[in-house]
Structure 1
């Protein structure tokens, strides 16, 4: 059964949703960008229903200043109090919980890494956001692709017979192609110590709980993460998809990986 509730966070009332289930290992969903807790195309609401039907309670919430919640929207970099308050509210609403796993996509994944709530038992990090801008927005991809995505696109074109035929017919801008090809041989410069990728690398290296990274390999945000971050020993699961939010048929792959992580923690 699904319940609507609220909890306090630094003087603001935070709107939340609990999908009840009898399990002792629960899932906390942290929304990315400025999405409300139901997610893109109700994706997170449907995911919560799927996980709860498998026996695990699920808690979702609107960050301050988003959706039905009060307060100012400070972005994912200011969400540490929201996440901490949500964990406490989840434990209060589902008294049987002994373990909580948090799932976040895009900048929600980065927020979980940067804030590293010590009361969580595991993390599931999907397509972590590595762009310096604080505005990951609600779109499926950032406006500009990273260099890694540009290189991948040109390599794909070079092996596509249709693209080669267009080149022979003079339908492709040679100067633009030459600029793209020149990027193929250039490596990625090391991230400055205070950059977001560097801080994420540091967080990954110092994790105190198990984590899994989920990547949609055709997604620009995921490609940027691969190009700029070192996950170290954190396992990565990859899906050949361009969907940043794991929409459509990809939703089942996402659910299966989350259930796998919940099962591991339940058995621990």
Structure 2
């Protein structure tokens, strides 16, 4: 059964939706970017329905200044109180829930890491955001350039394609954009700088004391940047999974749309169980 409710966060009323189910392990969905709780093309609403049908209650909410919620939008870096209040509201609305896992995609995944410790039992982090924000605390819609590994793969593929070479000879390719991309191919990845977003995420992963699953769409630019920027900690996690696991999907869908939604739902349900 789906019902709508509201809860308070620092004097603002936040809107939420609960897909109830009998299970004692619940899922808190944290929306990324400026998306409302239903998600792009109702993706999060459909995910909630699927997870609830598998027996797990699901709680979604609009953070302050987004969708049906009051208050000012401070971006993902300021969302710690919103997430904490949502956890408490989830427990009040579904008192039979003993454990809560939180799922976030993009900067919502980063928020869940940055705002630890939170009263959560597990994390499910999809395509975490590692690029510097736009100055207002909100992830930009698109990074200025994709990660070096993606640029290299893209241009090597194009250089092997006779049609691309023909387009270049005909003047159909932007030479300045091509030069910019080729120059980036020579740049090497560096260790995350202390105080940077990537450095903060690296430290949060190293200090994490609860189970976490990292889900990566390997063709997505945001996931590629995460894999490149945090290559060392990812390698350590994959070599010794323990309570931290990494799962990869050969897809370019940042939001796991279309057929990829089945893969996402299956992994989330497995993490809950």
Task: Tell me the TM-score normalised to structure 2 length.
Answer: 0.88
Output the CA distance in 1 between the equivalents of 2:37 and 2:173: 44
- Show structure 1 runs of 5+ residues with no match: 264-268
Q: Which moved more, 1:110-119 or 1:152-161?
A: 152-161
* SS of residue paired to 2:219: coil
- Asked if the contact 2:16/2:59 (under 8 Å) is kept, the reply is yes
Q: What's the counterpart of residue 239 of structure 1?
A: 249
Deviation at 1:239, TM superposition (A): 1.2
Deviation at 1:135, TM superposition (A): 2.8
Deviation at 1:51, TM superposition (A): 0.3
Q: What's the counterpart of residue 267 of structure 2?
A: 257
Q: Is 2:52 the partner of 1:52? A: yes
Output the CA distance in 2 between the equivalents of 1:235 and 1:161: 41
Q: What's the counterpart of residue 193 of structure 1?
A: 194
Task: Tell me the TM-score normalised to structure 1 length.
Answer: 0.90
Deviation at 1:15, TM superposition (A): 0.4
- Asked if the contact 1:121/1:210 (under 8 Å) is kept, the reply is yes
Q: Is 2:210 the partner of 1:209? A: yes
Output the CA distance in 1 between the equivalents of 2:32 and 2:177: 34
Tell me: CA distance 1:172–1:70, structure 2 relative to 1, closer, same or farther (3 Å).
Answer: closer
* RMSD, aligned α-carbons: 2.1
Q: Is 2:140 the partner of 1:130? A: no
Tell me: CA distance 1:204–1:170, structure 2 relative to 1, closer, same or farther (3 Å).
Answer: same
Deviation at 1:183, TM superposition (A): 3.5
- Asked if the contact 2:218/2:224 (under 8 Å) is kept, the reply is yes
Q: Is 2:236 the partner of 1:226? A: no
1:66-81 correspondence runs (5 A): 66-81=66-81
Output the CA distance in 2 between the equivalents of 1:215 and 1:226: 8
- Asked if the contact 1:36/1:62 (under 8 Å) is kept, the reply is yes
The C-alpha deviation readout for 1:136-179, integer Å capped at 9, x for no partner, is 25x5x445423333223113323445435656888667776565
Deviation at 1:93, TM superposition (A): 0.8
Q: What's the counterpart of residue 16 of structure 1?
A: 16
Q: What's the counterpart of residue 86 of structure 2?
A: 86
- Asked if the contact 2:192/2:202 (under 8 Å) is kept, the reply is no
Output the CA distance in 2 between the equivalents of 1:156 and 1:235: 31
Deviation at 1:217, TM superposition (A): 1.1
- Asked if the contact 1:84/1:117 (under 8 Å) is kept, the reply is no
Deviation at 1:31, TM superposition (A): 0.3
Output the CA distance in 1 between the equivalents of 2:168 and 2:143: 28
1:135-214 correspondence runs (5 A): 135-136=138-139, 139=141, 141-142=142-143, 144-160=145-161, 162-163=163-164, 177=178, 180-214=181-215
Output the CA distance in 2 between the equivalents of 1:210 and 1:2: 28
* SS of residue paired to 1:235: strand
Q: What's the counterpart of residue 240 of structure 2?
A: none
Output the CA distance in 1 between the equivalents of 2:261 and 2:60: 17
